[in-house]
Amino acid sequence: MTYIEGFLLPVPTANREAFVAHARSGIPFFKKHGVMRLLEAWGDDVPDGKLNDLKKSVALEEGETVVMSWFEYPDKAARDAGNAGMMSDAEMAEMGGADVPFDGRRMIIGGFDSIVEVGSSQGPGYVDGFVVPVPAAKKEAYRALAAKAAPIFQEYGAHRVVEAWGEDTADGKITDYNRATLKEPDEKVVYSFVEWPDKATRDAGWAKIMEDERMKPDGDMPMDGKRMMWGGFSPVVDETFG
C-alpha cells in the first residue's frame, strides 16, 4: 500500500500566500523524484490538548499556524530512492534557501507505511489529521480497530481514510514525532488522515460518528488516546502525478 512521508510545520500566518507559492514552486522537483502526490493543508481547527497537541508538536509561536502535509509514494523503496535523489540534487539547496517562509528547524518529518487505506482521493476540501503513539505489540489490534472505523467514516461522507505505521521517525534537534507524542520505548507513531469533500460534510459526519454505537471498541483501546494529537486542515496545495 501507499507509503507516506508525513510533515508537520509551523508557518507564520502572515506568510500563507508565500508558503503556498513556495510549495507550488517545488512541485516539478518532487515529481522528478518520484512523489505520486503532494498535499499541503493549512491549520483551521487545531485544538489545545491537555498533555500534547499539534501546536506543541512544532513549538508553535504566537502568530503562527500549523501546517500538515505529506508526500505519497507507491512503497518504501520508492520513498527511499526519492529521498536519496533529492539530497544529491543541486536544486535541493534552492528549496531550503534563506527565503523559505517558515522555520525549517521546527519541521517534523517521518516515514509511515499504510496499514489501512480505503477510498480514493477526490480533491479533498478538508482533512482531519491525527498522530498517536501505539504499542508495537498492539499493531494488529490497532489496525483492526482502524479498519472497522474506516467504512463508517466513508458512510458519513469521507472520501478516503489512511492509517500509516511509523517506520522512520528519527529524533530531531528541536522537535520530532517521538517527543511530540511522548512516545515510550515500546511504542510506534501512527500518522493518519481522513479526506472529506468539505468542512461542512466533515462537521456533520463527526456529529454522527460520535453517536454511532459501531465506533465503540470491542475491548480495551490499543493506544493511549490521551496522547493523540489531532486537528482539521484546509488544503492549499494538492497535486497528484501520474
Q: What is the mean pLDDT of residues 129-142?
A: 98
Residue 97 pLDDT exceeds 70 = no
In whole angstroms, what is the distance from residue 231 CA to residue 7 CA?
14
Q: Look at residues 240, 157, 237, 158 and name the one whose alpha carbon lies nearest to residue 192.
A: 158
Confidence of residue 175 (pLDDT cuts 50, 70, 90): very high
Tens of pLDDT along 78-88? 999 999 999 99
pLDDT (0 to 100) of residue 26: 95
> Above 70 in pLDDT, residue 107?
yes
Percent with pLDDT over 70 in the chain: 98
Is residue 215 predicted with pLDDT exceeding 90? yes
Mean pLDDT on 96-122: 92
Residue 145: what residue type? Answer: L
Using an 8 Å Cβ cutoff, are 173 and 105 in contact?
yes
Query: What pLDDT is attached to residue 98?
Result: 66
Residue 218 banded pLDDT, cuts 50, 70, 90 = confident
**Predicted pLDDT at 95:** 74
CATH no. of 3-240: 3.30.70.100
Q: Where are the domains of the chain?
A: 3-240
pTM of the model: 0.96
DSSP three-state, residue 130: strand
Residue position matching grid coordinates 507564520: 12
Tens-place pLDDT, residues 3-53: 999 999 999 999 999 999 999 999 999 999 999 999 999 999 999 999 999
Predicted confidence at residue 123, as pLDDT, reads 79
d(CA 111, CA 221): 24
The Cα 127–Cα 125 span in angstroms is 7
**What is the overall mean pLDDT for the chain?**
96
Average pLDDT over residues 162-186: 97
Query: Which pLDDT value is given to residue 183?
Result: 98
